Amino acid sequence: MKSTAYKISPEELLQEIKAWDENSWKSFIESNVVPIHILADSISKQFVGDASADVAGVVAKESKRVLDVAGEVLGDISMSYTPPEDPIECLRLFVEYCANTFLGVGDAGKYTLFAWTLRKITREYLSSIYPSLKDHEKRAKIFGILGIDEKEPLFIPQVRSKLVEDLTILGYPDYPSLFKVEEWGDTIRVRTLPSERKTFGGSLCRLVDTLTAVLKRPGMLSGIELSSDPVSEYRNSIPSKPESGQIYSGSWVNIPWSEFYTKYDGGKLNAGHVWVIEGFSVKCVDYLSSPSQYSDSYVKQETNLLSFLRSIMPSIITGSTEMLLNDGWNILITIERTV
């Protein structure tokens, strides 16, 4: 394993993998995701009752999703990989493929990293880190492959301003982004909302999250040694959450990265301090009885949408943090991934 991709610039990353080339993505899928799927499926059946089988089952499910969407987007995918007969060798290869496909690890990690950076990104930040995507034709080709629809953003500020275009957030609708509030109060309980649409980019990002569970090596996987810890190495190399002066420190919901995938498709979480969006104003409150009912005495911090998104975007695109919005786009939860 050699972690190198996150040490180069985003623009170099885009150019190296030829993100606009369907054949480049297809080669990555056949060389990496196909073996991961076949090995995961085999392990989930060979080690029933062991924690390794449980994790492998999740990876088998998410990798199958990637392969299904890739088949629709890229054409027929070759499934020619043959797993070894020795079950222990299957475990070893499974961990190895998962590690080498994780964000920033070798050539395969460049593909997952590129797709990962586009989970949720403002138009302003997209233009800043990927200047070549100002070219409409190239951007349309890449977005068409990954499944980003510019006509259906993840978030549009509800104000009239020239800044609306810059602060509009693009990304994958099938990666956790929206929630519905189920309980109000000093702690709100929310349920993430699934998307009917499946995208190639969103499916890859979901797979990345499950790889972190494999790389913790539960059950029988604990006997497989790695030369390094790719998840910790990556997490330690990227921007951390913004300082408390920018985003209130008490607003972060901490979720271990290896458990993040459990929040998919209807997963629930509790948040003690949430952000209320009112036009360009963003307020962190510690008691909320409805989207618009709170007392000024409960406001812990107030900022504006421009400052908020600019401060959080570096950690969002690299993944140390995440944010979820309610289906009305006026309540926001900030999440920190822990290792």
pLDDT tens digits, 216-267: 999 999 999 999 999 999 999 999 999 999 999 999 999 999 999 998 878 8
Contacts of 296 (CB under 8 A, 6+ apart): none
Averaged pLDDT of the chain: 94
Dist. CA 102–CA 204, nearest whole Å: 11
> Cα separations (Å) of 180 from 147, 281, 325?
24, 21, 9
pTM: 0.95
Give the pLDDT confidence score for residue 2 in this predicted structure. Answer: 53
Domain that holds residue 48: 5-338
- Percent of the chain past pLDDT 90, that is, above it, reads 88
- Counted domains in the chain: 1
Half-sphere exposure of 213 (CA within 13 A, CB side): 23
Residue type at position 196: E
Give the pLDDT confidence score for residue 141 in this predicted structure. Answer: 98
Phi and psi for 229 in degrees, rounded to 5? -105, 95
pLDDT (tens digit per residue) in 157-188? 998 888 999 999 999 999 999 999 999 988 99
| Residue ranges of the chain with per-residue pLDDT less than 50 | none
Half-sphere exposure of 198 (CA within 13 A, CB side): 17
